[in-house]
Amino acid sequence: MNDAVFDVETKLGQPWKKPPFVQRAWLRWALLLGLIAYLIAAYMTIDVNWSRVYEGLERGKKFVLAFANPDFTTRSSDIWEGMLESILMTVASSVVGIIISIPVALGAARNVAPLPIYLICRGIIAISRALQEIIVAILLVAIFGFGPLAGFLTLSFATIGFLSKLLAEDIESMDKVQAEAIKASGARWTQWINYGVQPQVMPRLIGLSIYRIDINFRESAILGLVGAGGIGATLNTAFDRYEYDTAAAILLIIIVIVMALEYLSGVIRARVQ
Amino acid sequence: MLRLEKLVKTYKTGDQALKAVDIDIPEGQVLALIGPSGAGKSTLIRCINRLVEPTSGKVYLGDVELTELSSGALRRERRRMGMIFQEYALVERLTVMENVLSGRLGYVGFWRSFLRRFPQSDVDEAFRLLDRVGLAHMADKRADELSGGQRQRVGICRALIQDPALLLVDEPTASLDPKTSRQIMRLICELCKERGLAAIINIHDVALAQMFVQRVIGLRFGAVEFDGPPEGLTPDVLTTIYGEEDWEATIEKVDDDDAMAAE
């Protein structure tokens, strides 16, 4: 109230503006001009071969038109097998990944775990997130050979990084007082997690898990391209043979399944709020 | 029954929240702890059950010294100290019953609590307590469906089902309307009397404290400035605790059932 001498008269009749994010004017302008210069320079380096694009348009058109009459029948047994393998990979890797990522997430939350465990779990997450799925899949295919086992392991590994990180962040931002109240009753650590922490993060855990199942299914379609099993292998073969109608059929099935999962996740998330 | 000896808490930032506080509370005494925000009231209560670790000093609950206990022994002693929180601190996504039964966690094993299979005697006691505060019919509702006053009642049940010897009460009425505030304070004090519990109640509302407690301690900058009966809170005393202000309206004798006209 009476902190500093503040002469209100100097402010009256003056327009008021929100203080800028970067205080120093010269720095603000330098950053802005630098960004514009960088963008212009960056776009100039992209070089487009227009005659190649013209040729490619024809192929692109064929591909798009194939969606008008997709061929589900000619290779139906291949599609069916690949789809089943993909779904199997998705379910198995999601279950294993989620089960492993819950303890890792607890370890990676600073307000729940002691520092050494925190560092170990954050390390696991960092490694899992640093290695892109395709790279992991190529490595695992080299070790375990072609087939869904490599895909299953890849997706499980990727799930751990994704789910643990986001769940740990939710645990860290939980309401401290609710957890404190459980601690004050003399609960042991496991009970404290079960009563004080779990109820608070459950909606997020369920939401993230469903989202991850969705991602795992889509990824399982990609992993086939590097030989890690699933519908991706079938899709790859179809492209190699220029059988765009079969490829279109596979893509349509993937789209339908992803949309169904999306819808399902919406329904479930609404119910667990 | 509870004795604090030279209790000091210095936070990592260097703030001295408690400066060698000595307090002795006999069996069954209800004590109000008043003082301005930041005086260390909350810290004091949390240093007793070690939700905040005291820097130095001793806390005796009966014959047991609390500050040196291992984590297992501390858990056993925490069962004897029920805590009631500002803003209720119920686990919002659990049912009322689960919240009340969570007061028994110190007594039951992990799997029993995980499967929610508490001993029948605990369940019976939970229903008895909920009935005592008039909420037995709400047992299966989720905690976040309740109003503020109802939630604080559940919080009281959760503390009492521990079968404590001491209640630590942190601003029980901070987010309640004046009428509910009085009801909650009256309920806490009645229950303490019924069960012979000692209690420390942190409270901002001086008039409310005067109405219900036998002893008041005034804290200022982490040190005890006043310790005596509620009648001893004169304008001079309040000025030493809180600073200069017109106190006449605050300490005016308020009849129990008036609205809080003075507020």
A25 inside 8 A of chain B by CB = no
pLDDT digits (tens, 9 = 90+) for A82-137: 899 999 999 999 999 999 999 999 999 999 999 999 999 999 999 999 998 899 99
Q: How many other C-beta atoms lie within 10 A of the C-beta of residue B183?
A: 17
Instruction: Give residue A251's domain range.
Output: 76-272
Closest CA of chain A from B234, distance in Å:
27
Distance CA A75, CA B98 (A): 56
pLDDT at B251: 65
Q: Which of B89, B107, B113 sits opposite A177 (nearest CB)?
A: B89
How far apart are the C-alpha atoms of B167 and B75, rounded to whole Å?
16
Q: What are the residue boundaries of the structural domains of chain B, listed by start?
A: 1-72+167-172+203-258
Its pTM stands at: 0.83
Closest residue to A185, CB basis, from B78, B87, B94 = B78
Q: What's the confidence (pLDDT) of residue B40?
A: 87
**Residue A120 forms part of a structural domain:** yes
* Residue B256 structure tokens: 């129990």
Tally: H helices and E strands in chain B: 10, 10
CATH topology of domain B1-72+167-172+203-258: Rossmann fold (3.40.50)
Interface probe with B: pick from A177, A182, A185, most Cβ of B within 10 Å: A185
Query: How many structural domains is chain A composed of?
Result: 1
B66 within 8 A of B248, measured Cβ to Cβ: no
A128 to A93, A133, A171, B174: CA distances (angstroms): 14, 9, 20, 46
Q: Where are the alpha helices (DSSP H) in chain A?
A: 25-45, 50-66, 76-107, 115-130, 133-144, 148-172, 176-184, 189-192, 198-223, 231-240, 244-272
Mean predicted lDDT score pLDDT of chain A = 89
Distance CA A233, CA A237 (A): 6
Q: What is the pLDDT of residue B258?
A: 45
Which residue in B174, B219, B169 sits closest to B197, CA to CA? Answer: B169
Nearest CB among B51, B77, B81 relative to A180 is that of: B51
**Lookup result for tokens 């109240």:** A181
Summarize the confidence of residues A67-93 as an average pLDDT.
Answer: 88
Amino acid letter at A144?
F
Q: What is the pLDDT at residue A158?
A: 95
- Whether A134 maps to a domain, the answer reads yes
Among chain B, residues having any CB pair with chain A shorter than 8 Å are 49, 51, 75-79, 81-83, 85, 87, 89-94, 98, 102-107, 110, 113-114, 155, 158, 162, 168
CA distance B31 to chain A (A): 20
- Residue A6 maps to a domain: no
CA atoms of A48 and B124, how far apart (whole Å): 78
Distance between CA atoms of residues B5 and B21, nearest Å: 6
Task: Test B103 with A196 for CB contact under 8 angstroms.
Answer: no
Could you tell me if A188 lies within 8 Å of chain B, comparing CB atoms? Answer: yes
Over the stretch A50-65, which tens digit does the pLDDT of each residue have?
888 888 888 888 888 8
DSSP 8-state assignment for residue A18: P
Chain A residue with CA closest to B50: the answer is A184
pLDDT at B256: 47
Question: What are φ and ψ of residue A173, in 5° steps?
Answer: -100, 15
**pLDDT in the model for residue B78:** 94
Tens digits of pLDDT across chain B (263 residues): 899 999 999 988 888 889 989 999 999 899 999 988 888 899 999 999 999 999 999 999 988 999 999 999 999 999 999 999 988 899 999 999 999 999 999 999 999 999 999 999 999 999 999 999 999 999 999 999 999 899 999 999 999 999 999 999 999 988 888 899 999 999 999 999 999 999 999 998 888 888 889 899 999 888 998 999 988 888 888 888 888 777 777 765 544 444 444 33
Task: Residue A107: give its domain's CATH number.
Answer: 1.10.3720.10
Kindly report the three-state secondary structure assignment for every residue of B114-170.
HCCCCCHHHHHHHHHHHHHCCCHHHCCCEHHHCCHHHHHHHHHHHHHCCCCCEEEEE
With CB atoms and an 8 Å threshold, state whether B91 touches A181: yes
Half-sphere exposure of B248 (CA within 13 A, CB side): 1
Q: Are A236 and A225 in contact (CB under 8 A)?
A: yes
Evaluate the CA torsion angle B172, B178, B182, B183 in order and state its sign: negative
Chain segment A245-269, per-residue pLDDT in tens: 888 899 899 899 889 988 888 888 8
